[in-house]
Structure 1
Amino acid sequence: MRYFVYDVFTDTPFGGNQLAIIPDAGDLTDAQMQTIAREFNFSETSFVLPPKDPGHTARVRYFTPARELPFAGHPTIGTAVMMADENGIEDMVLELGVGPLSCRAAEGCASFFTEHPLEVKGHPAAELVAHAMGCEIGNLRSVPVLASLGGDFVYAQLDNRETLSKLCPDIEAMREGAALYPGNHDFAVYPYVLEGNTVHARMFAPLDGIPEDPATGSAAAPLAALLCKTLGRRVEITVHQGDDMGRPSRIALTADQDRVTVTGKAVKVMEGTLFL
């Protein structure tokens, strides 16, 4: 069985977020998909299957090393670029766990937009969130928010880039947060620093098998929607993520009242054969 590895949200090999893609996964069982995702041990592995609706391009399933996700950003960008690279498809509709998603890809760059309404699901205690991230409560610049556009993330604005770079998550506090705020991610935390139209961010989801993620489109999109709601205007931002991991990633986002558009590049760095 063929596989590809793409680095996503970068145009430079060995940067961005790694993504394994199985382009012909129609014969795999759920258990096999989960086992393959554990074998690659990337934050996500993408499995491409025939669509249920003949008018759509493909059905795609995303697995972390620990579980299946209904939606994820960097696998969507990477899978769309792969399909453009391999099949010459530029405009496509992918069937995901959150429903059909329209994408466009060409020349190593892809975009998708979501009109899923922003859900604010709670406000975890600032002390708990600070403890989970490994900083002081005084480093927070806003009330933490649990929000979602399909994937649940805890957002915490920090005081400066130095604080962000020094974060060291506490797994027990993460477990406490997951018990208090159950969701489709286990208390995945997205701390960020806002500097004009630039956002510096990190993402920690150790309970989902992702100690730190170098690029998280499914977390960046709700942040753009939150900023749009808070500021009361259209927002155009670029998220810098992965810098503290040595895998710089760039995610371009535009958010208005009705939709969020996510854009990024991806580059193929590996391909081969998987033996089952």
Structure 2
Amino acid sequence: MSNNINVFYVDAFTSEVFGGNPAGVIPNAESLTDIEMKKIANEINLSETAFLMPPSKTNADFRIRYFTPTEEVDFCGHATLGTAWLMATMYNWVDKKEQIIFETNIGLIPVKWILEDNQLKTVSMTQVSPQVNDIEIDPQVVAELVGIRGTDIDDRYPIKIGNTGVSHLLVPVKTRRAIDEAEPKLNDLKKMNKDYNISTTHLFTFDTHGEFDIYTRDFCPNIGIDEDPVTGAANGALAGYLYLENILSIKESHQLIVGQGHAINRPGMLYVTITPTNGMPIIEVAGTAVVSMTGEILV
């Protein structure tokens, strides 16, 4: 006998249906096996699908697991934000508590509600403490792998590996045009990412013509996705890098607007807050979301 499993498509970091980054969300996954979750994520075929189940920790509201079409990953920013938005709006969590706490493979991730006139405006997730690590790699090699010219690399800033739970190669680029025109060599990029244990390669620039503070693009063939439209985890790692590398002042808080997804017609916006605390920043990534589809899967 088949079980009817509710499934939602939630477009994260946008208020427009079919914008931002779509995530699958399964709110009641407690009866599913690992194999079933992998098959469902492959069938949904979005960059990530989130599965909710009862937590093992008493200070969490749910355990959340994330699957790409090919494998489980430890953390996914846009699926976390999309799941929180779904729970706040369609499961009335916005009326139950001031936040929702997810137990993930990298630790607890609290997501709080930002209200305006008693209406949900955004949800904001606090990521785990950021880390930055060096990488020995020729910038010209990186440029070739991501499909830009060597002269497009912005050598004012270092190429580093940033992490707020998942590792991302952070690549500074001089112009938005170069990022938009990038044509990565996905098979070669996948091999490099695998060699360095990197989940995604994240291009960023301050050249935004005033539309945003930062503009980014994210390639992730190593986890089974060519490109992730709008990435909460990678942009959180980028914020930590900007602080820890003293690109932004470590003596003050920062609020950044990040644009992403425009190159592939999935435009989205993230609102990132960096708050200094005893030498280590607190990184919060906020945004809106919209439920675009609902249905059932027969398992």
Q: Place the TM-score, normalised by the shorter chain, in its bin.
A: over 0.9
Q: Distance in 1 between matches of 2:182 and 2:112?
A: 35
CA distance in 2 between counterparts of 1:175 and 1:55 reads 37
Is the partner of 2:169 in helix, strand or coil?
strand
Aligned to 2:144: 131
Residue 58 (structure 1) aligned to one of 32, 56, 62: 62
Offset at residue 180 of structure 1 (A):
3.3
Q: Which residue pairs with 2:270 in the alignment?
A: 251
- Which letter maps to 2:203? P
Q: Which residue of 1 aligns with 2:193?
A: 178
Task: Tell me: CA distance 1:98–1:179, structure 2 relative to 1, closer, same or farther (3 Å).
Answer: closer
Q: What CA distance in whole angstroms lies between the structure 2 residues aligned with 1:25 and 1:266?
A: 21
2:51 to 35, 47, 58: 47
Partner residue of 1:272? Answer: 295
Aligned mate of 1:67, from 65, 68, 71: 71
TM-score when normalising by structure 2: 0.87
Q: Which runs of 5+ in 1 are unaligned?
A: none
- How many corresponding residue pairs? 273
Q: Check 1:144–1:59 CA distance in 2 against 1; reply closer, same or farther (3 A cut).
A: same
SS, match of residue 14 in structure 1: coil
**Structure 1 Cα separation of the partners of residues 85 and 229 of structure 2:** 18
| Conserved? CA contact 2:6–2:27, under 8 Å | yes
Whole-Å separation in 2 of the counterparts to 1:212 and 1:237:
22
The correspondence for 1:36, drawn from 35, 40, 63, is 40
State which of 214, 232, 250 in structure 2 corresponds to 1:217.
232
Q: Tell me how far apart the structure 2 counterparts of residues 256 and 124 of structure 1 sit (CA, whole Å).
A: 31
Provide Cα deviations, 1:147-177, integer angstroms capped at 9, x if missing partner: 2111111111111111111100012431441
Check the 8 A contact 1:37/1:45 in 2, yes or no.
yes
Amino acid at match of 2:72: E
Residues 1:232 and 2:249 are matched in the alignment: yes
Partner of 2:165: 150
Percent identity over the alignment is 29
1:115 CA drift (Å): 4.2
Match of 1:122 among 135, 138, 146: 135
When structure 1 is superposed on structure 2, of 26-35 and 49-58 the one drifting more is 49-58
CA RMSD of aligned residues (A): 1.6
Q: TM-score, normalised by structure 1?
A: 0.93
| Structure 2 gap ranges (5+) | none
Task: Determine if contact 1:81/1:108 at 8 Å carries over to the other structure.
Answer: no
Letter in 1 for 2:54: P
Residue from 98, 102, 111 that aligns with 2:110 = 102
Inter-CA distance 115–62: structure 2 relative to 1 (3 Å threshold)? closer
Alpha-carbon deviation of 1:123? 4.4
Contact kept, 8 Å, 1:123 with 1:146, in 2: the verdict is: no
Structure 1 segments, 4+ long, off by >6 Å, are: none
Partner Cα separation in structure 1 for residue 122 and residue 255 of structure 2: 18
